[in-house]
């Protein structure tokens, strides 16, 4: 199966992190480079990569640092990793970076206690984890594909980092014909620019709609289930995902449509109320391609995520790490 | 009270119809010219004017024709008006043009039967009707303003042709402080370009949000009522309005928020099911400022309206003609 470039958007080669520039899609399939933590975090903050790309970016920041610091004393090396972890955790508020950075710090401390070479041990641990993660993401897509019936018309919002292409490929292998409606997902247009792009290039049937069209599609029987991803899963099953997910979930509930979530592992948040919602700069809403589209002086309000309570979620397809 | 340019966007001067170019807003306050029926209908089809502007455009097409045909025989004059009425009715499917064109044809036939000068009689009738219409639109805004409480935060969608500025001005006169959240209203951005613009220039408190933000605003208590207009009102109280209205109404119902509609007079449609929903060209969704933003080959689906059933509408503030 051919993988979507969005499935694994970050790579480390020759001391350089290559990051798929999601803001250049669908016009250009290109990669931005980062050679240190600061540059890498700028790519996250500027949303050049997002969602699953942020997980890969975090691990690759550590891999890069481990290469650069291998001649340092263990205490010093741990300190560098800790500082990086803090910066990663603070880069964007809604994504649960701590889950991933704490894992790396724990490996480093274990290596230090066992008097092992931190660089080698942690590098191996990270690479092993990423191999495992890749397989588990594939398994997750397979699990979801088995829940989808032949002839299904799936509404999706934002972008699930290549997973829907896999889901569609598995459905195809299982002899099932499916189609997608993709919300454009304002203001960043991840649905129009990324999801429609990756499904289209993999030759699946995909139709773009304005975010305003969800209830209309449901009321006309044009979609019969919803699939989204999640940026954070709380312990009680609530999720934080791209703004607009919550209202689609409310509408799916009203129309008795299954609402499936491709979920990450649970974060320390007990419920959705413990998840901090990132407010992005208003210009991301009020400008288009760098040109202001809103009236002069008008204000914008752009919460980048919302919380969907577990009661509206038919099933989590979790990624068990 | 200073009137929004959107309140009365069409004027007839020296055999030329001047039409506020709503697609040039908020960058430029400018008027397009039409000198015959064909040019005038192109402005409607290209959505240079929309909503209430279409009513004014219809009457002004007749006023222009009456001037041009006053030397014709009555039978010939009636035929010209009938042909124009047919063309107007067919210009866009969801708007109930018939209500307005049938009125003009009836006046013309009455004048013919009474052996009066059709041009003079119908011109006077139209002008009298428009004076009355202006006052009734002002009364409608006043009626709504009395339903709004001090401190209200109003969510609105699309654009109600200058009425919300009046509502805000009346609230202000009544000593009430209110604020607005305006959905940007993709794909045509009437909320961002028109409603935010007219409220902002009249110095009211207005904040633009992505269409994806409605449920979030409601769940956080940031809005406490919804006000929209309607392109068509069916006899049973169902309305057709800009795509996305229906989902906002469903959400308002879920959050127990009043959902008020500034409604036109009822059309011949018995229920919302009798209203034909216009499908607009997909490029209006897939392009931005003439440049394609969607992936090459991707399809779009753009129903321009949806139907909100009367059961979701707290109150119609009707325009009784």
pLDDT tens-place string over residues B256-284: 999 999 999 999 999 999 999 999 999 99
Kindly state whether residue A54 falls inside one of the protein's structural domains: yes
CA-based nearest distance B137→chain A, Å: 25
Q: How many CB atoms lie within 10 A of CB A291?
A: 9
Residues of A designated catalytic:
231
Q: Specify whether A58 is located in the same domain as A116.
A: yes
- Tell me the chain B residues in contact with residue A288 when contact means C-beta distances shorter than 8 Å: 288-289
Kindly state whether residue B140 falls inside one of the protein's structural domains: no
Active site residue B139: no
> Nearest 5°: phi and psi at B255?
-95, 10
Q: Specify whether A106 is located in the same domain as A233.
A: no
Strands across the sheet with B299-300, in order? A315-318, A259-263, A225-229, A153-156, A179-183, A206-209, B299-300
Q: How far is CA B195 from CA A259, B7, B81, B156, B300, in A?
A: 34, 11, 34, 9, 26
* b/e code B151-168 from CB counts within 10 Å (16+ = b): ebbbbbbbbbbbbbbbbb
Q: Is the pLDDT of residue B2 over 90?
A: no
Kindly state whether residue B176 falls inside one of the protein's structural domains: yes
- In 3D space, the residue among B33, B57, B28 whose CA is nearest the CA of residue B44 turns out to be B57
Q: Specify whether B125 is located in the same domain as B260.
A: no
Q: Specify whether A129 is located in the same domain as A107.
A: yes
Rounded-to-integer distance, Cα B88 and Cα B122, Å: 17
Closest-approach residue (CA) in chain A for B214: A247
Contact by Cβ (8 Å): A255, A285: no
- In 3D space, the residue among A158, A164, A125 whose CA is nearest the CA of residue A141 turns out to be A164
Mutate: best of A203, A295, A312, partner B, most B CBs <10 A: A295
Among A135, A158, A175, residue at a domain's last position: A135
Q: What is the CATH number of the domain that holds B61?
A: 1.20.120.420
Rounded-to-integer distance, Cα B296 and Cα B285, Å: 13
Contact yes or no for A289 and B288 at CB 8 A: yes
* b/e code B269-283 from CB counts within 10 Å (16+ = b): beebebbebbebebe
Contact by Cβ (8 Å): B21, B42: no
List Cβ neighbours of A305 (8 Å cut-off, separation of 6 or more): A94, A231, A240, A241, A242, A243, A245, A275, A277, A278
Q: How many CB atoms lie within 10 A of CB B28?
A: 8
Q: Specify whether B282 is located in the same domain as B231.
A: yes
- Tell me the chain A residues in contact with residue B243 when contact means C-beta distances shorter than 8 Å: 210, 212-213, 216
Task: Tell me what pLDDT residue A321 has.
Answer: 80
Contact yes or no for B212 and A242 at CB 8 A: yes
Task: Tell me what pLDDT residue B1 has.
Answer: 78
CA-based nearest distance B173→chain A, Å: 23
Q: Is the pLDDT of residue B320 over 90?
A: no
The H-assigned helical ranges of A14-117 are: 37-45, 52-68, 74-91, 97-113
Q: Could you give the 3-state DSSP secondary structure of residue B233?
A: strand
Q: Specify whether A92 is located in the same domain as A188.
A: no
What's the average model confidence in pLDDT over B300-311?
Answer: 98
Kindly state whether residue A288 falls inside one of the protein's structural domains: yes
Q: Is the pLDDT of residue B19 over 90?
A: yes
Q: Is the pLDDT of residue B120 over 90?
A: yes
Contact by Cβ (8 Å): B262, B228: yes
Rounded-to-integer distance, Cα A138 and Cα A135, Å: 5
- In 3D space, the residue among A224, A204, A84 whose CA is nearest the CA of residue A154 turns out to be A224
Q: Which of B206, B244, B294 sits opposite A212 (nearest CB)?
A: B244
Active-site annotation holder among B150, B231, B274, B306: B231
Kindly state whether residue B84 falls inside one of the protein's structural domains: yes
Strands across the sheet with B232-233, in order? B232-233, B239-242, B305-308
Q: Could you give the 3-state DSSP secondary structure of residue A65?
A: helix
Beta bridge partners of B181: B155, B207
Q: How many CB atoms lie within 10 A of CB A14?
A: 6
> How many structural domains compose chain B?
2
Inter-chain contacts counted by CB atoms under 8 A, chains A and B: 170
Q: Could you give the 3-state DSSP secondary structure of residue B262?
A: strand
Q: What is the ipTM of this complex?
A: 0.95
Kindly state whether residue A3 falls inside one of the protein's structural domains: no
Contact by Cβ (8 Å): A212, B185: yes
Rounded-to-integer distance, Cα A234 and Cα A316, Å: 12
Q: Specify whether B238 is located in the same domain as B309.
A: yes
Contact by Cβ (8 Å): B186, B282: no
Among A100, A135, A170, residue at a domain's last position: A135
Closest-approach residue (CA) in chain B for A190: B294
Q: What is the CATH number of the domain that holds B186?
A: 3.40.50.10470
Q: Specify whether B154 is located in the same domain as B290.
A: yes
Task: Tell me what pLDDT residue B321 has.
Answer: 80
> Which H or E run includes B206?
strand B206-209
Task: Tell me what pLDDT residue A258 has.
Answer: 98
Q: Could you give the 3-state DSSP secondary structure of residue A134?
A: helix
Beta strands in chain A (DSSP E): 10-13, 16-20, 31-34, 153-156, 179-183, 206-209, 225-229, 232-233, 239-242, 259-263, 287-288, 291-292, 299-300, 305-308, 315-318
Give per-residue pLDDT as tens, B139-179.
999 999 999 999 999 999 999 999 999 999 999 999 999 99
Rounded-to-integer distance, Cα B167 and Cα B146, Å: 9
Give per-residue pLDDT as tens, B83-115.
999 999 999 999 999 999 999 999 999 999 999
Q: Specify whether A16 is located in the same domain as A116.
A: yes
Q: Is the pLDDT of residue B25 over 90?
A: yes
Among A103, A135, A167, residue at a domain's last position: A135
Task: Tell me what pLDDT residue A320 has.
Answer: 80
Kindly report whether the peptide bond that precedes residue A26 is cis, defined as omega within 30 degrees of 0. Answer: yes
Task: Tell me what pLDDT residue B204 has.
Answer: 97
Rounded-to-integer distance, Cα B152 and Cα B172, Å: 12
- The DSSP output letter for A192 is I
Rounded-to-integer distance, Cα A269 and Cα A289, Å: 35
Task: Tell me what pLDDT residue A288 has.
Answer: 95
Q: Specify whether B131 is located in the same domain as B157.
A: no
Output the DSSP codes for B130-179: HHHHHHHHHHHHHHHHHHSPTT-EEEE-S--TTHHHHHHHHHHHTT---E
Q: Could you give the 3-state DSSP secondary structure of residue B126?
A: helix
- In 3D space, the residue among A125, A133, A154 whose CA is nearest the CA of residue A258 turns out to be A154
Q: Specify whether B189 is located in the same domain as B233.
A: yes
Kindly state whether residue A70 falls inside one of the protein's structural domains: yes
Q: Specify whether B173 is located in the same domain as B257.
A: yes
Mutate: best of B282, B295, B306, partner A, most A CBs <10 A: B295
Contact by Cβ (8 Å): A225, A258: yes
The H-assigned helical ranges of chain B are: 37-45, 52-68, 74-91, 97-113, 118-147, 163-173, 190, 196-201, 214-219, 245-254, 283-286
- The DSSP output letter for A22 is T
Rounded-to-integer distance, Cα B154 and Cα B252, Å: 12
Kindly state whether residue B50 falls inside one of the protein's structural domains: yes
Q: What does the pLDDT profile of chain A (321 residues) look like in tens digits?
A: 789 999 999 999 999 999 999 999 999 999 999 999 999 999 999 999 999 999 999 999 999 999 999 999 999 999 999 999 999 999 999 999 999 999 999 999 999 999 999 999 999 999 999 999 999 999 999 999 999 999 999 999 999 999 999 999 999 999 999 999 999 999 999 999 999 999 999 999 999 999 999 999 999 999 999 999 999 999 999 999 999 999 999 999 999 999 999 999 999 999 999 999 999 999 999 999 899 999 999 999 999 999 999 999 999 999 988
CA-based nearest distance A203→chain B, Å: 10
Domain that holds residue A57: 10-135
Q: Is the pLDDT of residue B28 over 90?
A: yes
């Amino acid at each position: 199966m051919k993988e979507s470039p969005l499935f694994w958007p970050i790579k480390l080669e020759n001391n350089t992190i290559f990051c798929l520039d999601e803001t250049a899609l669908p016009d250009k399939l290109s990669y931005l480079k980062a050679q240190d933590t600061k540059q890498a975090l700028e790519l996250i903050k500027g949303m050049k990569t997002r969602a699953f790309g942020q997980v890969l970016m975090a691990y690759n920041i550590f891999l890069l640092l481990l290469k650069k610091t291998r001649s340092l004393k263990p205490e010093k090396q741990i300190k560098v990793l800790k500082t990086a972890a803090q910066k990663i955790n603070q880069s964007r508020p809604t994504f649960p970076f701590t889950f991933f950075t704490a894992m790396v710090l724990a490996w480093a401390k274990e290596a230090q206690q066992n008097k092992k070479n931190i660089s080698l041990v942690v590098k191996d641990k990270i690479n092993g984890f990423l191999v495992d993660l890749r397989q588990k993401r594939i398994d997750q897509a397979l699990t979801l594909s088995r829940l989808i019936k032949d002839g299904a018309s799936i509404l999706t919002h934002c972008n699930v980092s290549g997973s829907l292409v896999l889901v569609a490929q598995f459905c195809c292998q299982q002899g099932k014909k499916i189609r997608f409606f993709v919300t454009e997902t304002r203001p960043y247009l991840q649905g129009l620019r990324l999801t429609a792009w990756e499904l289209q290039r993999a030759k699946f049937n995909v139709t773009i709609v304005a975010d305003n069209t969800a209830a209309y599609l449901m009321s006309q029987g044009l979609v019969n289930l919803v699939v989204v991803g999640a940026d954070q899963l709380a312990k009680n099953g609530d999720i934080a995902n791209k703004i607009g997910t919550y209202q689609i979930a409310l509408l799916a509930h009203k129309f008795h449509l299954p609402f499936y979530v491709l979920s990450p592992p649970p974060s320390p948040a007990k419920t959705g109320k413990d998840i901090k919602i990132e407010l992005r700069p208003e210009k991301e809403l009020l400008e288009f391609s760098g040109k202001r589209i809103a009236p002069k002086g008008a204000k914008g309000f752009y919460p980048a995520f919302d919380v969907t309570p577990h009661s509206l979620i038919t099933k989590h397809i979790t990624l068990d790490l």
